Amino acid sequence: MARILFSVPPLTGHLNPALAVAEELEKRGHQIAWAVHAKQIRDKLPPRAWVYPLDAEDVDGPSIADPQVRGLESVRLFFEDYTLPIALRMLTPLEAISRSFCPDVMVVDHQLPGAALVARKLGVPWTTLVTTTASILKMSPTVDEWVAQQYMSLQCSYLPKELRVERPDFSPHQVVVFSNETLLGNAHPRVDAPYHFVGPTKGNGRRVVDFPWDWLRSDSRKLLISLGTVSRDRDTRFFEVMMAALAEMPEIQAVMVAPESLAERAPLNVLVRSYVPQLELLDQMDGVICHAGHNTVCEALSRGLPLIVAPIRDDQPVIARQVIDAGAGLSMRHGKVTPAMARSTIEKLFSTPELAANAKRLAQSMLAAPGAVGAANLIAAQASPSVRPVH
Amino acid sequence: MSTSYDDVLAVVIQQIRSTVNEDWIEDFEIGPETRFNDDLELESIEFVKIADAIQNHFGNQLGIISWLSGKSIHELIGLSVGDLTGFITSALATPEA
């Protein structure tokens, strides 16, 4: 049995893959502990989880500073106002947690560099979890250089000089990526790191969410519309445009993950819910309209569903481009799309069989990937490099 | 003969409209203050297409992409139609090497 310390940011897209991997490791008898911002995500962890809070001293815990920004500006602010301040605040508490728990392995999300720095300083073997492939790509010299500068300033405050590297967020031992190389494509060079592409996890470890399943008809085409948890409450324009377009398309039923205040204005064929059991729902869908969040894209493609991507921020434009290049989706401009354009794009989604065919091709490679089991194998092997004698 | 800033601006705006070619952009007001990232929601691949279209229009290599690669991340985020127009106007005024 190994002692494994997980540390991930309090964001659904980062937590969900880790939950699946942790559940798999726990099933094999390993001792899991979580060093997380408990005020925000304790309710999404297993009820009996061993939790070390990173935010005991914080009043509110971290939040995405300005959810309104988009594109490259959101990448800058995500570093400057979210990732780096969180990293600085967590270094001291996490070092103490790690000395107390004595992990054999640390499992660290790639956007929680504070945990990566602690693993590096203490010399603990560690695995990086990568929940979006945008992070492993070299996008442009300007952006890459800026990212390296951000990491260097963080390291200077904590790590001795000989331990500082250009990309401290990636473990030199192993980097687990929840996607596959077919979707990733070759449009951009990669940061050099020991990657293991395990594909998406299958959703284990998530809490149960209620859903009115009998609302779905057997004779309709079904769409899931989601902008993810960060952008869900940003503004309602996009959702209103979708409702206006779908009001003219009664043959389609859409489940829209949006503020429930929109429900009273929704046409009969649109069901508004603020939280859904996404994986079970995707099993019933024919297509997806989304922000090109990495998990939603991989989950949709695992089921062979074609997508309409409307990227907003962070890694989303990069992932949206992967979907388009793979021939499995169409694009929509999030802040500009009109009801007429939405309607014609939805019609095209369902009348272009190549999109679904390419999505099904990607599904085969996604389903062949080992997912959470593969990630757990890698982490377990790191915990016991040679098989230990059984006592 | 040099091309005035306003002439270049009109070309830049026209090339943005025809490259994006979606219904909303027909009525969307574009001026020197309009930012590519925030106001137009353009991704980099679309920006490259617009740069190519502008360079084709003027019939020479203006070096728009290498001009961009010298910019900081803050400048890229705030890049406006006026910034691009200013660069092209001065590139056109400089005799080709």
For testing the chain B interface, which of A140, A336, A345 should be mutated: the one with the most B CBs within 10 Å? A336
**Structural domain count of chain B:** 1
Q: Tell whether the model's pLDDT for residue A203 goes beyond 80.
A: no
Structure confidence at residue A293 (pLDDT): 92
- Residue of A76, A336, A337 lying closest to B77 (CB–CB): A76
All structural domains of chain A? 3-199+369-383 (3.40.50.2000), 213-368 (3.40.50.2000)
> Cα A67–A72–A74 angle (5° rounding)?
20
The mean pLDDT value for B17-35 works out to: 92
| Min Cα separation B10/chain A (Å) | 22
Taking alpha carbons only, the member of A320, A325, A326, A309 closest to residue A361 is A326
Q: Beta strand A174-177 with A307-309: parallel, antiparallel or unpaired?
A: unpaired
Q: What is the pLDDT of residue A388?
A: 47
Question: Could you tell me the pLDDT band of residue B97, with boundaries at 50, 70 and 90?
Answer: very low
User: What residues make up the domain containing B77?
Assistant: 5-93
Half-sphere exposure of A285 (CA within 13 A, CB side): 27
Separation of first and last alpha carbons in chain A: 11
Minimum distance, in Å, between the CA of residue A71 and any CA atom of chain B: 6
Interchain proximity A336–B41, CB inside 8 Å = yes
CB pairs under 8 A between A and B: 51
More confident residue, A234 or A209: A209
CB contact under 8 A, B24 and A338: yes
Residues 276-295 of A with CB under 8 A from B: none
Sheet holding A105-109, edge to edge: A50-53, A31-36, A3-7, A105-109, A126-130, A174-177, A195-197
Whether the predicted pLDDT of A387 surpasses 50: no
> How far is residue A264 CA from its own chain's centroid?
30
Q: How confident is the model at residue A168 (pLDDT cuts 50, 70, 90)?
A: very high
Of the listed ranges B11-15, B33-37, B58-62, B90-94, the least confidently predicted one is: B58-62
Can you tell me whether residue B50 is helix, strand or coil?
A: helix
Q: A35 φ, ψ to 5°?
A: -105, 100
Question: Which residue from B minimizes the CA distance to A72?
Answer: B77
For tokens 């470890």, the residue is: A205
Question: In this complex, which of B22, B43, B72 lies closest to A317 when CB atoms are compared?
Answer: B43
Under the phi-then-psi rule, with left for phi > 0, alpha for psi from -120 to 50, and beta for the rest, what region is A371? left
- For residue B67, the chain A residue with the least C-alpha distance is A142
For residues A281-310, give the mean pLDDT. 96
Query: Between chains, do B76 and A333 touch, taking CB under 8 Å as contact?
Result: no
Amino acid at A177: V
Q: Does B65 touch chain A (CB under 8 A)?
A: no
CB A128 within 8 A of CB A175: yes
Answer yes or no: is pLDDT of B57 > 80: yes
Which of B25, B37, B71 minimises the CB distance to A71?
A: B37
Lowest-confidence region among A78-82, A116-120, A318-322, A354-358: A78-82
Cβ distance of B77 and A71 shorter than 8 Å: yes
Does residue A223 carry a pLDDT above 70? yes
Average pLDDT over residues B31-56: 90
CATH of the domain at B89: 1.10.1200.10
Q: Extract the tokens encoding A334.
A: 């999030």
Per the model's pLDDT, the better-predicted residue between A387 and A169 turns out to be A169
Confidence of residue A197 (pLDDT cuts 50, 70, 90): very high
Q: In whole angstroms, how far apart are CA B47 and each of A183, A273, B66, B84?
A: 23, 36, 13, 11
Query: Which pair of tokens denotes residue A30?
Result: 């390993």
Burial class, A176, CB count within 10 angstroms (exposed 0-12 / middle 13-18 / buried 19+): buried
Average pLDDT over residues A331-349: 95
Task: Write the pLDDT tens digit of every residue in A90-136.
Answer: 999 999 999 999 999 999 999 999 999 999 999 999 999 999 999 99
Q: What distance in Å separates the CA atoms of residue A163 and residue A113, rounded to the nearest whole number? A: 14
Look at residue B96 in the predicted model and tell me its pLDDT.
60
CA distance A286 to A300: 10
First to last CA, chain B: 16
Least confident of A169-178, A183-192, A296-305: A183-192
Question: Cβ contacts (< 8 Å) between B23 and chain A: which residues?
Answer: 338, 340-341
